[in-house]
Amino acid sequence: MANELYPFPHGGVLRGDLEASPGASTTVSDTETLFCPPDASFNSFRRVMLERPGQAAFIAGFKPSRGMAMGEYSITVDLDHEILDGSTVLTAGSRAGVPQADLWLRAGGFEAAYTSDADYSGVKPDNVTLSGGTNDEIITYTYKPRQGTAGSSAKLVYTEINSAGDEGRTHTLTSCRHGWTISVPSGERVTMACEGKSLATPIAKDSSPTTGSSLPDEEEVVGLGANVSLHAVADSVTYGKSGETDDASTLGALSIYDLEISSNLEIDAKPAPTGTYGIGSIRYNPGTPTATFRLDQVTFEDDFDIESFRDDREILRLTMAIANPDDDVSFIVIQFEGYITDIQGDSADGYRGAQITMQLGYPDSSSDGGGLDPAALMTLKYVTVIAAP
């Protein structure tokens, strides 16, 4: 219907897939629908107009020149659980058996690897019993932002739909990449806030938008039923419990609150005269990731002193395993290894604590090739424990 208004925040559909290589031709099907929160925004064609001030007999404006154009987007997505069932395919364009977070993680600099014959033995939620053997399925996302890696960029298609549902305006964003912040608040949804850029595509009218695609319904990850560990790697001691992989129940009154990990990843829209709209490529400009969280203040054991660890620049490994409330076999594991760079005393709910800031560490080991083949210092894993046959 002509002149129909466009409602907001409902009245929008987001679809997307990973690209085989940055900017490669990618078909996004109507079934590849992504959850899109109300405050997300997409603009596939933000153009810079070049003004031309000049002299004239009277006050006048001169025709501006058309300058560069790029796409921009902002979205905070919920991380979702995924029960792995042997169907996982990570190849861009034919992905299957992966969480929706797969797209957002990989367009944010994470590389993905899948195995169906693992024997997981790390930190786990208390409700999960490890089975032994080599039957566990794991998708491991390792943070290594690299420009040319296959599947390291995405194509997003966002359609604004009018009130009648019979007309739309489509934003097509290609070569999408973003910086991010992962937040794990206590008792709330675990989110990934993404701020990204893309190559430009003019906004197009859609005379018959598809509105009937179903949304995924996997369980969101919530900061409940988690097990946490803060482990001093060189000294092999763990905050608040005797072993790194011990159950959360052994932590007693100690805990780690409100974890937030920031990529500090800048995305550069690289100007180039060869680009159709003056942008040659969307590039990662990696910063050093940081993690912040809060600890309860206690009288530390003699072998665990966070201020000494800060001063000695000792690597600490922070691990959080979060349960899937729908079952007792699948969970996610967030891991960050780094140095303490700041400790700030504070108080909350009537008790003293400390705000800790960590910076991602250098892979300091004899086998890392002098840093050329770095260890996996920041990972996010999807684990499904499969009972031994």
The answer to the question of residue 59 being in a domain is no
pLDDT at 370: 55
Q: Evaluate whether residue 5 is within a structural domain.
A: no
Q: Cα–Cα distances in Å, from 326 out to 61, 97, 208, 220, 223?
A: 64, 17, 38, 10, 14
In a domain, 61, yes or no: no
Backbone angles phi, psi at 343, to 5 degrees: -130, 120
Query: What single-letter amino acid sits at 181?
Result: T
Q: Does residue 60 lie in a domain region?
A: no
Within-domain flag for 58: no
Q: Is residue 389 part of a domain?
A: no
Query: Residue 56 falls within a domain, yes or no?
Result: no
Report yes or no: 81 and 220 within 8 Å, Cβ to Cβ: yes
Domain residue limits at 193: 12-49+68-384
Backbone torsions φ then ψ of 265, nearest 5 degrees: -95, 115
Count of domains forming the chain: 1
Paired tokens of 120:
């997981």
The token pair that represents 338 in the structure block: 């780094």
Low-confidence stretches of the chain (pLDDT beneath 70): 1-2, 252-254, 299-303, 363-375, 388-389
- Residue corresponding to tokens 């850029």: 197
pTM given for the model:
0.92
54: buried, middle or exposed (CB in 10 Å: 19+, 13-18, 0-12)? exposed
Q: What does DSSP say about strands 256-262 and 290-296: parallel, antiparallel, or unpaired?
A: antiparallel
3-class state of residue 27 by DSSP: coil
Unique residue bearing structure tokens 């058309």: 66
* Whether the bond into 325 is cis, omega within 30 of 0: no
Determine, yes or no, domain membership for 55: no
Give the span between the Cα atoms of 31 and 173, in whole angstroms.
Answer: 18
Q: What is the pLDDT of residues 309-318, one digit of tens each?
A: 899 888 899 9
Cα–Cα separations (whole angstroms), residue 145 to 17, 111, 297, 313, 335: 18, 8, 36, 25, 17
